[in-house]
Chain A
Amino acid sequence: MSRPSNFPPPFDANDFVAEPSDPAEERIEVGVLIVGAGPAGLACAIRLGQLLEESPEVAEALGDVPVALLEKGKQPGSHLLSGAVVNPRGLQRLFGERLRLDDIPSYGAVPGEAVYLLTRRAALRIPPPPPMRNHGNRIFSLSQLGRFLAERAEEGGTMILPETSAEKLLVSHGRVVGVRTGDKGRGREGQELGNFEPGSDLVAKVTVLAEGTQGHLTGVAMSRFGLRGEEPQVWELGVKEVWKVARPLDRVVHTMGWPLRAGARYREFGGSFVYPMGEEMLTIGMVVGLDYRDAELSAHDLLQELKTHPKIRRMLEGGERVQWGAKTIPGGGFHALPRRLHAPGLLLCGDGAGLVNIPRLKGVHYAIESGRLAAEAAFRALQRGQTPATALSSYDEALRESFIWRDLYEVRNLRQVFGRGFVVGGALAGAMTLSKGRVELGRMRAEPDADQPLLETGRAAAYPAADGTLTFDKLSSVFASGNKTRDDQPDHIRIERRVPREVAELWAHMCPAQVYELGAEHPDGTVTVELAPSNCVQCGAITAKGGRLTPPEGGSGPEYTLT
C-alpha cells in the first residue's frame, strides 16, 4: 500500500526565506518581534514588558516599538485551542507577585478525576495512571486565556498586530532579521483585488517564533538552519467540542480504548477527555496519533462515535453543542526536540519547538515558561547593546536547566512504545513512569507520520450518521468553529493533487474540516484531489501526513472563543 510521504507536496522552504526587500525607509523596525499570540508568545511579550519597565534605557534604545507581536487570527485567542487542564506553574512563574492565580480567568481547580477504559458499551473505571494525575491543576479555555494574556501584554507596551500572517523569514548575512508579512486582498489566481494590500518587512533585532503546532516559519527556520532533532517530529490530532449541559460534570474524565482499536497493526494511539467548564459547560475531545495507518480514520468522526457511548451520552443529554475546533499536538517529545532552539537572531518557543509532554497531556506551562526564558535571553542580548550570532545561546542553556527539560527527559520513550499497540505499550509505559524514566527499554525509533503504509479496513462504515443534536457532520462543525474565511483567496494548502485513491481517502477522512474531496478518477487508478481551502481551521494535520500548510491571508480561519 502507498505511503503519503511518497507524494510530497510542491513546497520548498527556500521560497519562504528572503532578504528584506522593502526600501529601507519603508521597513517597519521593532526591537523584538514575536510571531504568534499563544501562551508562549504572549508570555514572552509580558516578560519583556516587565524587564523593559525595569530598564527604561534598554527600552529607549529599541525605538518606538520595543516589542511587536504578530497574530494570524482575527484577534489573540482566535486560533487557540487546547484541553485544557493546565499546570499553573508557568503562569505563577511568569507573574510572580504581580498577579494572583485567582485573578486569571479559569474554570477553577480540577475538582476530581476519573479514567475509564471503554469498550463499545461498557466503561471500566481504572486508577489514573501516574502521569495523568491532575491534583492542583486548573481548567482553562486557552482561547480565553489568550485574550487575557494579550491584554496584559498590551498593558506592558507590546504592540499586537492581529490578522497578520508571517509569511517569510527575513535572513540577511546568515542572521534572522525579522519576517515579511503576507499580502492581503489577492484573488483566487493570485491577482490583486480592489482591496489589495502588500505585505511588509518587519525588521527586528531578535525574532521569536512562537507559532504553535506546525508553525510555518518554524518549519522554514528548521530547514534553513539545520535545527531538526535526532528523531522526526510526530503529531497527534485533537478534535473537541464545547457543550452547554443540563447537569454539571464534577470531575475531569479521561478515556482510553474504544472507539480506537487495540491491535498493533492499526497503530491507533490516543484517547478522549471530558472536562467541566464551570457549572454550565463542558468540553469533550478526542485525540489520536497521526502515525495511524487506516485511510478511513477520522478524528472528527471518532469524537462523534465516542459521544454515542452510554457513559458519555449521559453527560451530554439535554445539552447543546456551542463550539467545535481541531488542532494538532506535537507528540515526538524529548528525542524530537530541535538540536538547538536558537539560531542567529532567532528563538523558538512552545509547541512550535515541540515542548509538549504527551503522556501527561500537558504543554501550556512549558509554552509559557519557554516564552519567559526566551524573553530573558533576548533581553540579556539587547542589554549588552549587541546581538552577535551566539548571543542567544543562553536561551538553550536556560531551557536545559528548566523543569521543561527534566519533565520531557523523564517521559522520553513513552510515546514511542505505543507503536507496539495499546496493551503492550500501556504496560511498558507504566514501567517507565513508575521508575521516573530510569528504565531504558532500548531506544524506540519513531518514523514520520507520513511514512506509515496505509491500510483499508472499511472503518468509515461504522461512524454514526449526524443527527444534528448529539452527532454532527464536518461542515456544520466548521460553522461552529466560527470560520468564515474569504473564499476567493489563493489556495494555501500544498499537496500533490493527483495521488492513489487511498492517499486521497486518507486526506479526506483525516481532515476534520472537509477541505479535501475526491475528484475525477484517472485510468491509472489515481484520483484528483479537490480542495475547499476556506473550510480550513489550520489544525496542521496535512503537514504531518504528506502535505504542507502555509498561512492563508491574515484573519482567515476559525474564530474560537471558548476552546
Chain B
Amino acid sequence: MRVLVFLEHRGGELQKSSLGVLAKAASLGDGDVAAVLAGEGAKALAAEAGGFGAAKVWVCEDESVAQPLPQPRVDVLAHVIEEGGYDTVLFANSVLAADVAAGLAARLDAGLNWDLVDVELRDGELVGKRPALQDSVQVDVGWKETPRLALFRAGSFDATPAAAGGEPEVAEVSPAYAEHSTLARLVAQDVEESTGPSIEDADVIVAGGRGLGAPEGFGLAEELAQALGGAVGATRAVVDAGWYPYSAQIGQTGKMVSPKLYVALGISGAIQHKVGMQGSGTIVSINKDPNAPIFEFSDLGVVGDVHEIAPKLTELIRQRKS
C-alpha cells in the first residue's frame, strides 16, 4: 500500500487533526507513508512531519496555493499521486480538506469514504470504520478500486510522534494548474478571536452548562480552563440562552471533541451533548443533581454545588502548578 496524507498548516503550525491521521497511517506499518503540504511555509514544516511518520514529504509553495482554496490543491494532489504512484490518500476533516477530498474524488473518479473515525488493515485489505444511525453503531466500509480516498472526522486520532520518526525526504512540486483551478480568489478571511486553544485541538476542555446559573457563571469555567491550560466549551442550552458563543458549542449540533480531559460543570448530560464528547479520555463532572445522566458516563462524578467546588479546584491546581 502506498499512502499519502494531506497535511494542513495554519499560522506556522501543523494542524493536530491531520498529524493524527499521519500518525495513524504510519502505525498501520504497511509500507512507507508520505505526506503532502501546500501553501506558504510548507518547506519549513516538512521536517516536523517526519517526526509523525512521514518518510517523504511533498511540498508546494506556488503562488497558486498561497491562499487556502481547494481547487489548486486538487491539482497538487493529482500530480503527486501520479508522480509517487500512491493508491491511498487520507484527509483529516476540515472545511478545506473536505473540499479538496471531494474535488480530488471527482478529478480521479475515485471512491471517497467520508466521516470515518478509524481505519485498519484486515488481511491486507484497508477497512474504514464509519459511525451510522446517529453514532450508535460503526459500520465497516471499503473501496472497490484505487486510489482509495478517506476523510476522517477531526480528532479521530491522537497526534502521537512516531517511534521510528526521522528526517523525511523532501520533494518540491509545482504542477500545471488547470485554468478553472485558479479562477477563485479569496476575498476576505475572518478568524474568530479566541484566547485559549480551539476546542477541537485542546487536550483539556472545561465545559459549562445551565448549572452555572448565569452567563457570569462561565467565569468559573474560564478560570479553571486557564489553570488547566485548556479551552472552554458549552452546551446547547447555554448557547441558546446567549450565555456563550456558538463556536464553543459541543454536541450533536455543535462540535465533536475528544480531549484527554473533559471537565463538565453543571451539565446534565443529555444525549445530544454526550455524542459530542463521549470520545474524551477522562470525563470529570460536577453536578448538584445525583440523578443527572452525565454521571452514567463520567469517570469521576462529584455531586455538589459547582459554584463552591470549581473555584477551590482552580485554586488547588494553581497552587500545584506554581
Contact = CB atoms under 8 A, between A and B. Distances in A.
Interface in B234-285: 236-237, 239-241, 246, 249, 252-254, 270-272
B322 interface: no
A476 B236 contact: no
B268 to A, nearest CB: 9
Interface residues of A, number: 14
A152 interface: no
A444 to B, nearest CB: 43
B290 to A, nearest CB: 13
B134 interface: yes
Nearest to A478: B272
Contact of B134 (A475, A482, A486): A482
Contacts of A213: none
Given A486-B253, A488-B246, A534-B253, A475 B240 contact: no
Interface string B162-191: 000000000000000000000000000000
Contacts of B236: 487, 532, 534
Nearest to A531: B240
A485 B241 contact: no
B238 to A, nearest CB: 11
A530 interface: yes
A478 B271 CA distance: 10
A479 interface: yes
B253 A487 contact: yes
Contacts of B134: 479, 482
Contact of A476 (B240, B249, B253, B271): B271
A468 B240 CA distance: 25
Contacts of B237: 532
Interface in A484-517: 484-488
Contacts of B254: 487
A487 B239 contact: yes
Nearest to A468: B293
Contact of B253 (A468, A482, A484, A530): A484
A484 B239 CA distance: 16
Interface residues of B, number: 15
Contacts of B240: 487, 532, 534
A29 B246 CA distance: 39
B270 A476 contact: yes
B130 to A, nearest CB: 17
Contacts of A487: 236, 239-240, 246, 249, 253-254
Nearest to B241: A530
Contacts of A482: 134
Interface in B124-158: 134
Contacts of A478: 272
Interface string A530-541: 101010000000
Given A479-B134, A532-B237, A484 B252 contact: yes
A475 B272 contact: yes
Contacts of A488: 246
Nearest to A485: B253
A107 to B, nearest CB: 20
Nearest to B242: A188
A489 B172 CA distance: 45
A528 to B, nearest CB: 12
Nearest to B291: A465
Contacts of A475: 270-272
B246 A479 contact: no
Nearest to A487: B253
B102 to A, nearest CB: 16
Nearest to B273: A475
Contacts of B239: 487
A550 B77 CA distance: 46
Nearest to B136: A322
Contacts of A485: 253
A244 B236 CA distance: 30
Contacts of A534: 236, 240, 253
Given A484-B252, A487-B253, A479 B241 contact: no
Contacts of B293: 468
A255 to B, nearest CB: 29
A521 B249 CA distance: 27
A485 B237 CA distance: 14
Most chain A CB within a 10 A radius of its CB, from B239, B240, B241, B252: B240
Interface string A195-230: 000000000000000000000000000000000000
A488 to B, nearest CB: 5
Interface in A454-497: 468, 475-476, 478-479, 482, 484-488
Contacts of B252: 479, 484
Nearest to A479: B271
A535 to B, nearest CB: 9
Interface string B189-219: 0000000000000000000000000000000
Nearest to A482: B134
B253 A479 contact: no
B272 A479 contact: yes
Contacts of B249: 487
Contacts of A468: 293
Interface of B: 134, 236-237, 239-241, 246, 249, 252-254, 270-272, 293
Interface of A: 468, 475-476, 478-479, 482, 484-488, 530, 532, 534
Given A482-B134, A487-B239, 8 more contacts: A479-B252, A479-B271, A484-B252, A487-B249, A488-B246, A532-B236, A534-B236, A534-B240
16 contacts: A475-B270, A478-B272, A479-B270, A479-B271, A479-B272, A484-B253, A485-B253, A487-B239, A487-B246, A487-B249, A487-B253, A488-B246, A530-B241, A532-B236, A534-B236, A534-B253
Closest 4 CB pairs of A and B: A475-B270, A479-B271, A476-B271, A487-B253
